[in-house]
Amino acid sequence: MKDLRTLAFSLLLLIGIILPENKTDTKLIFIYNSKSGFINEITDLAHKMISPETYPCDLYALTYDTFAMKHEWSNYIDHLPMKTVFMYKDKLTENVMKNMELPAAFLLKNDSLINVLSEKEFNSIDDLEGLISKIDQILEEHSVKNEMNDGKLYLSKEEWEKRLNKEQYHILREKGTERAFSGKFDKFFDIGTYVCAGCGTELFTSETKYNSGCGWPAFYESLSGTIEETSDHSVGMTRTEITCKKCDGHLGHVFNDGPRPTGLRYCVNSASLEFEQIEKEQ
């Protein structure tokens, strides 16, 4: 208990929340100890990209800009209902940390420090979805509900593997790409709605689908508010990746070479979609 009190006071000083006007703040604090292992790597990524004020790093964009989980992880952290701080152990004295197993996560409410994720719990997690799911669960247990998730679906790696077949998992969760002209919806033009194969969110309608000749299903417009766009610098070029807003599943990319009225071409993997038929009226 004494160690936690000492650590709490040190953290208050370090992150600058000891001032009276900030006494009601709640903070989620990650402390990590090295750059080996999944948890330390993903924490280090967040530390340098999302919370640079605690660890200045001018070169983070060069190092991490193509990191596959960057968008999903930073988007989640940005939408937590409290300030999130990441610290490397060199910010704390050896005296404070001598009995502390790292990595660890703490919830700081006023001047009370609650250990919400231990080193053992952290290291039992080996994928981003599992980490997000665990953080949400623990915050709810401490009456800190993430109201800003907006219906986001976060599942563990094992849960996604049960929900999706191998091809769907590779494309939606690992940002894979199916071979051109091999997808079931490339030359498919029935009337209906295309939904995310991961979560069932409606994404496109058959009215906006057209034959682009590119080898993948193409649409000139998506349904409003269902898709998120992110810069993708993989494969030696800059493209705009499109993902499902609800589950962050990778769909494909959008290009500025489509037909009127939008001039856009949403180039989508068939395996990331399911189709809901609209029955013709008799």
pLDDT tens sequence across 201-217: 999 999 999 999 999 99
pLDDT tens sequence across 147-199: 555 577 877 788 899 999 999 999 999 999 999 999 999 999 999 999 999 99
Residue 42, SS3 per DSSP: helix
Q: What is the pLDDT of residue 21?
A: 44
Q: How many CB atoms lie within 10 A of CB 16?
A: 9
* Cβ-contact 189, 156 below 8 angstroms: no
Indicate the burial class of 55 (C-beta count within 10 angstroms; 0-12, 13-18, 19 or more).
Answer: middle
**What count of Cα atoms within 13 Å lies in the side-chain half-sphere of residue 174?**
15
What are the chain's domains? 2-157 (3.40.30), 192-277 (2.170.150.20)
pLDDT tens sequence across 68-108: 566 677 777 777 777 777 777 765 655 555 566 778 888 87
Q: How many CB atoms lie within 10 A of CB 108?
A: 22
Is 247 catalytic? The answer is: no
